[in-house]
Amino acid sequence: MISDICERPNCNGKIEDGYCDSCGMAALKLSQNLAPGNSTGSSSRSTSQSSRSTRSTSQRSGRNSASRRPLGAGLVSVPDLPSTAPEAQLLSDPSVPQHRRFCGHCNATLRREQGFCSQCGQKYSFIPSLQAGDLVAEQYEVRGAIAYGGLGWIYLGFDRMLSRYVVLKGLLNAEDSNSAAVAVAERQFLAAVKHPNIVGVYNFVSHNGEGLIVMEYVRGHTLKDIRKQRGKLPVAEAIAYMHRILSAFAYLHREGLVYCDFKPDNVMLEAGDLKLIDMGGVRRIDDPDGDIYGTVGYSAPEIAADGPSAASDLFTIGRTLAVLLIDLPGFGTTHQYSLPTADQEPLFAEQESLYRCLLKATAEHPERRFESADEMAEQLLGLLREVVALETGKASPASSSLFGEDPLVWLVQSDTVPILADYRQIPPLLIDATDPAANTLLAAAAIADPNQRQTRLDQILQQFPNSSEAELQRINGLIESRNYQRARLALINLTGQIPDWQAAWHQGRLYLADDNSGNAQGCFEQVYSALPGELAPKLALAIAAEQAGQPQRAIQLYARVVATDPRYLSASFGLARCRFAQADRSGAIAALDQVPSDSSLYLQSRVMAVRLLIDATSSPPQPQDLEQAAQLIQALNLPGAECYCLQEQLFRTQLALLSTAPASKAPASPSSQLLGAEAMIRQALEQSLRAQAQWATGREKIELVDAANQVRPITWI
């Protein structure tokens, strides 16, 4: 049962119409806190780090929920805009520029304001048909023209009956029968369109034989005006705008409609919210004979041949986002359907996830774009969290609807065993709650013994032969048991039954388990491009890059994950390892400091910090490093033998450095915690070895005592 309170971490919102009024995410369904796969982890590990085991595939259904959610899920603040008096927008000389005059019948260029097309003979007129003072339908007083668009003149009017400003939209070319037919179609279905982010259609009236749409007047500024006034917008702000408007597109698509001509001109910012303001190009998805309207540079390449679709709408949103963020050279020519490369555009080089998101939204082939407006909105929200976290230094964690949480907490069995890069640290994919075997698979996931769990999965597959989720869980079991060949064949058999990114995810996991980090990187790159707003693909790619010996690439990815959501502890430990490999000892310690003090792996992070502070592999530690290590050891609450072992490592490092350092760099006084005098260091080392011997037995005990005798300071007694 779904709670009225949002269950996502760090969110206090309420669930309304199935979605949170704060974070904007769907309510969590059928979720349980289960250890992924192998559940043999220590019972003392915090259950707050466990993975949610199912994912919901539901879509947004609430029509009014968007207006109750803050823009950008409350992650960004939108600059206040000055209010504009309605009549201040009136055009003093309303006319259509020559470069905007085209024949609605054959698309030929028209030079005069009215006449007949020289190509096809179609009669046309671009002169406004309404003048200030005209009274339409004995109710709407025309105040004047305020703009012109693809289908008609737009007038400011005043509703005498309800005492409010309205917008009247007529025909740009009053002699164009095709445009007139579109206006009639608008009257038939636009009045039923009700969404808080779409301008309201009040009425449809006739005046002197011309059809006019009466629409809500929106007091605000178009994104085109904002872009023109302020220049390139901040990344977070632009993403927040597109994330918000996608709810309107999701609604239209569910109603069987496509918007067709989205661009910065057609969306307005009013009182911190957005609205689509021009419904002239909206048409039914299944209307093969409807006219197609669009704008060069925004329209998708397949529009002319295949007509508009939900995918072509998403293309226009991707192009609009790009226009808000960068100066796009050759917008209607060289880059009419493409984007500059990361080498050509500095912002794309800096914002890798953003660039991948734009590439996916504006892919040449529709099937390579986002599958729906809801999917694009979810990825944009994840991207927004990442951008805000990197810009402000404040984490913005949120649970994923596709991936479970970091499984590292279930893998660590000892506080002193080093944590290395491992494919098992990759977050698991959540089980699709709509799969027929979902509930049965949840129960199977709780089986601790791998062999028994695999047997149960085989039984589930017999019971649900068409369950792709059951087959994927069986493949995971084959990977765990190192039966890579069977896992590979099973994945091949699933081709076409699961999304490409999902197949790539499991293939990458298989490659990584089989020590083929190069191929694993290729798979996780594919997932990253498909889901640019998710953190799990970045973590998986970072682990693969680290294992492939590419620490700098791994650092970039680990850092993004840690900054956005510090709960991904695998990223913190990985970042520390890679920074240390790059001789950045202080950066490595800073990464480990990101592990929260209330985490079950906090002690592990302190132990690793001690080891990195005294490790001389990449560069000799400085006296302050050893001093910090000594303080950490003193503060650790480790069992005796493990604590003395760390002390031994510290004193051996100090002794080695002391023997090679000039006398002037030796610790200043015997009172130092580092026991600066060689004799005192040897004495402390001897004591740590003898203390370890007390915890040991047999041969190990003898070896520790012998080692203590060898390092003891030389005395005359």
Q: Which residues are catalytic?
A: 261
3-state secondary structure of 1: coil
For 41-104, the DSSP string reads S-TTS-GGGPEE-EE-------SSHHHHSPGGGGTS-PPP-----GGGG--SS----GGG-B-T
CB 129 within 8 A of CB 155: no
| Residue 580, amino acid | F
Neighbour tally for 546: CB within 10 Å: 23
Rounded Cα distance between 669 and 640, Å, is 28
| Residue 68, amino acid | R
Q: Which residues pair with 144 in a beta bridge?
A: 156
Neighbour tally for 393: CB within 10 Å: 8
| Residue 581, amino acid | A
Rounded Cα distance between 623 and 617, Å, is 16
Strand pairing of 164-169 and 210-216?
antiparallel
CA distances from 362 to 235, 330, 424, 495, 632 (A): 18, 16, 34, 25, 51
Q: Which helix (H) or strand (E) element contains residue 210?
A: strand 210-216
Rounded Cα distance between 659 and 685, Å, is 15
Q: Which residues pair with 275 in a beta bridge?
A: 268
Rounded Cα distance between 3 and 83, Å, is 40
Q: Which residues pair with 155 in a beta bridge?
A: 145, 168
State both tokens at 582: 């790059």
Q: Which helix (H) or strand (E) element contains residue 144?
A: strand 140-148
Please give the torsion angle defined by the CA atoms of residues 53, 57, 62 and 66, in that order, rounded to the nearest 10 degrees: 80
Residue showing tokens 């069987």: 256
| Strands in 600-701 per DSSP E | none
Question: HSE-up of 285 (CA within 13 Å, CB side)?
Answer: 13
3-state secondary structure of 234: coil
- What are the b/e assignments for 225-246, b being 16+ CB within 10 Å? bbbeeeeebebbbbbbbbbbbb
